[in-house]
Structure 1
């Protein structure tokens, strides 16, 4: 049974959603403010987090940032009434696996959560995934989400690590944008595309000290992860 941490300040809504999710065999723990959710996360084990954005004591965006620091492996989605594009983009830039706007269909939410958990499970069990990969002068500690160069260590988010692993496994070949999006994000919609652009920019910065590694964009087609 997969465990969900639900951070939602509307007590009645959280209780109803909890009951629905339990019908689909999820175990749900509720927190009615951001700080309470953070405390539960520090002391418990969860497979995925569902976060409202507007909450007392700590908003969902701040909570997401702290989740990444505490446990970069745990996936999280935003479930909120805030439907502005800038909010969606901000959430996806933080590394959210999805951004779902209220009102929504519970069955759709369950399918989205299930798909995210399937992808997470596949990454954990994949035989292709090795402990350490050499990328130019860097060492990529896959299971720890770390990128090392000499004595410097860059901690990656789970999404950054997933993207880097996919690019490395398909290095030195042209990849279409939709290929990357479907493989790493699970869809190729507009907001995921904007999120991918942000993560690609981050990876370029991480590799800036090694001229043998390039991420080249091919306009309107995709990109190529070149390792000489």
Structure 2
């Protein structure tokens, strides 16, 4: 079965080039120039495996569309395209729940590589699907962090990072190791995205004061999730 891609790009020339290149790589692409046309599709079967959204679009920007998509399809993988290549765009997308971003004009081969990496992470479910995290229970398959005070739906990236931290419990973890192991790259923007995700995990784990993800200046993070119960 071919991977089905939702492509939302208002630029006719660029959208057509992307669509044709992706189809040459055996992806099945549905291209929307108007992001508002995607909204009715959200209430249908929504057969797509990944979405590629331009950020700067008239009427509705990519961030607004992403919020609507993730409200209906919580764990849907998203890759943002930005022509501006500005930090605010990237961090906003990551906070919304994006899996990756790429500046336009983008190298088609790099785009393909990032798509395949996202899909590989999406398909990879840990052998142990339920794990204790202090007073919480992580259901990796359902992307749920479960607690008596309420459940939190995680993105795939948040789930992967939490499992990574669990595997390195009571250890000092280097930032470079996390970035290379999970992001497969290490630059300024991936470093900032890691900080965003660490901050979000700390908020999610607030109901158990014994759980610690401490920043160690110049090195990385020291994790203490206690002794598994």
Inter-CA distance 151–105: structure 2 relative to 1 (3 Å threshold): closer
Q: 1:9·1:33 contact (CA, 8 Å) conserved in 2?
A: yes
Q: 1:3·1:48 contact (CA, 8 Å) conserved in 2?
A: yes
SS in structure 1 of the partner of residue 141 of structure 2: helix
Q: How does 1:1-228 map to 2 (within 5 A)?
A: 1-43=2-44, 44-121=46-123, 123-124=124-125, 126-127=126-127, 129-130=128-129, 132-228=130-226
Alignment gaps of 5+ in structure 1: none
Q: How far apart are the structure 1 equivalents of 2:48 and 2:184?
A: 21
Report the TM-score when normalising by structure 2.
0.89
Q: 1:72·1:158 contact (CA, 8 Å) conserved in 2?
A: no
SS in structure 2 of the partner of residue 152 of structure 1: coil
Residue 60 of structure 1 and its aligned partner are, at CA, apart by: 0.3
Residue 42 of structure 1 and its aligned partner are, at CA, apart by: 4.0
Q: How far apart are the structure 1 equivalents of 2:183 and 2:65?
A: 21
Alignment gaps of 5+ in structure 2: none
Give the alignment's Cα RMSD to 1 decimal: 1.8
Q: 1:61·1:91 contact (CA, 8 Å) conserved in 2?
A: yes
Inter-CA distance 41–106: structure 2 relative to 1 (3 Å threshold): farther
Q: How far apart are the structure 2 equivalents of 1:92 and 1:153?
A: 21
Structure 1, residues 88-140: CA drift from partner, whole Å, max 9, x if none?
A: 2222332322221111221221122122222222x23x42x41x211111111
Report the TM-score when normalising by structure 1.
0.90
SS in structure 1 of the partner of residue 41 of structure 2: helix
